[in-house]
Structure 1
C-alpha cells in the first residue's frame, strides 16, 4: 500500500476563474488607492474592469467544470469589495468628503444594501442548492448598481467639470441606487438572452459600435448606456412582472 496519498490536482486552466476573481479584487483595491490619490478617472476604469472580470469568472468556471464552493465564496467577497465598497469610497473622496456626516451616511447605506443583497443571494443559494440561471434578477444586480452609482462621475468627466450635482442630491442618488439593489422587483437578466442566427451579424456590428464608442468617447458613452439601462428597467418592468408570475420561479439575486 502506497504511503503517498492521492491528491487531486487542478490544471492552470481550471484555476483561471479564481485567478480572474483575484485580479478583480486587486482592481477594486487599486481603484480605492487611486481614488485617494485623486486619480479618479483611472479609479473608475478599474472598477469597470472588475465588473467585466466578474461577468467572466463564473461563466468560465462553469464552462471548465471547475466551479467550487470556495470559488463561489471568493466571488461573493470580491463583489462586495468591488461593487459595494469601492464605488462608494470613490464617490465620497471625489465629491462628498466636505459634507462629512451626510455623504458618509449615503455611502454606508449603499454599502449595507450591497452586502445585504449578496447575503440574501448566498442564503438562497445554500438553501435551495445550485439552480439554473434565471431570466430575471431580483432588484438591480450589484455590478450594475456600481456602474449606475458612478453616473454623476461619467457626466462630470465628459463635461470636464467639477461635480455637477449638489452634495445633498448626490448623497440621495447614492443611497437610492443602494435601495434599488435590494428592491423586490424583477430586472431582466442578459445571461439567458439568446440571439437568432439571422441576427448574429447585426448583433456583432452593434457590439463593435458600442465598444468603439466606449473606447473613443468613454465617459459620454458610459453615461448614455447607464441612462438607457435605467430606462430599459423601467420600461420592461410590467412585462417582467407578468413573465415572472407565469414562470413562478424566484428571480436570482446576482
Structure 2
C-alpha cells in the first residue's frame, strides 16, 4: 500500500494587482488630479477663469469618485491613498500656486510663505484623515460631522478674492494684503478641530425632496449665468453655517454624555467589555 500523501496547508491567497472593479473610481480620481494640475498650467498663462474652473472640476470629480467606488464595491486602500494624493495637489498645491501667481507674488517672501502654509496645512489635514481612517471611534464622524473644513471646501473658500476680482474687476481684491490673510484663514479652517456638517450624513425628508431638487436647479442655473458671484455667495454661506454646526455638535455631544443621544454601532461595541 502506498503511504497517504501529506497535504501541505496553503497560506492565504495573495491578491496581485488592482481588482478590475476599482479601475473606474481610481480613473475618476486620476482625472481630478489631472484637472488640479491643469489649473496650475492655465494660471501660468494668466488664464485665471480656466484655472479656477479646473480646480472646481477637480472638486466635482472628487465628490463622485467615492460614490462610484461604493456603487461598484470598488473601495480599496489604494484608492484611498490615491484620493488623498489627488486632494493634496488639487486643493492644496494648485490653489496655493494660483493665488501666488495671481496676487501673492507682489510680496514674494511673505506671499510664498503663505502659499506654502496653505499647501502644508491641506496636506496635514489629509494626513490626519488617513491616520484616523482605521480608528473604531471617531466622535465627529459618528455624529454626522467632519473635523475642520474639508479640502475641496477650503479651496473654494481660499479663492473668494479671485471670484470677486473676476466679477467686479476691482484691483483692491487682488491686493496681497487682502489675499494673504484670507488664504491663511482658509488654511487654518482646514486643520482646525471645529465640527462641520458632512454632506454624506444629510438626509432629506421625503416631503421636501421636490423643493430640494428645485433649489438645486436654481443653484446650477445661477452658477451658469453668474459663476463668480454665485461661488462667492456659496463660499460665504458655507462659512456662515460653521457656527451652527459647532452648536449642533455640542448639543449632540451633551446628549450622548447624558446617555440620551444615539450612539453609533462602533461606539457601542467599543464600550462593551
TM-score, normalised on structure 2? 0.83
Q: Is the 8 A contact 1:102 1:168 kept in 2?
A: no
Q: Which has the higher contact order (CA 8 A, sep 6+)?
A: 1
Equivalent position to 2:112, from 104, 107, 128:
104
Report how far residue 22 of structure 1 moved.
Answer: 0.5
Which residue matches 1:125? 133
Which residue matches 1:51? 59
Which aligned pairs between 1:8-87 and structure 2 lie closer than 5 A?
10-11=19-20, 14-87=22-95
Which aligned pairs between 1:90-169 and structure 2 lie closer than 5 A?
90-128=98-136, 135-162=144-171, 164-169=173-178
1:230 correspondence with 2:223: no
The CA RMSD over aligned residues, in Å, is: 2.4
Report how far residue 134 of structure 1 moved.
Answer: 5.3
Structure 1 residues without counterparts, runs of 5 or longer:
none
Q: 1:59 to 1:163 in 2, by over 3 A?
A: farther
Name the larger-Rg structure. 2
Secondary structure of 1:164 counterpart: helix
Q: Is the 8 A contact 2:103 2:175 kept in 1?
A: no
Report how far residue 39 of structure 1 moved.
Answer: 0.4
Q: 1:169 to 1:24 in 2, by over 3 A?
A: same
Report how far residue 61 of structure 1 moved.
Answer: 0.4
Q: 1:165 to 1:237 in 2, by over 3 A?
A: farther
Report how far residue 217 of structure 1 moved.
Answer: 0.5
Secondary structure of 2:46 counterpart: coil
Structure 2 residues without counterparts, runs of 5 or longer:
1-13, 258-262, 265-273
Query: What are the Cα deviations for residues 226-250 of structure 1, in whole angstroms up to 9, with x where unaligned?
Result: 1111111123321222224445779
1:239 correspondence with 2:239: no
Distance 1:17 1:207 in 2: 25
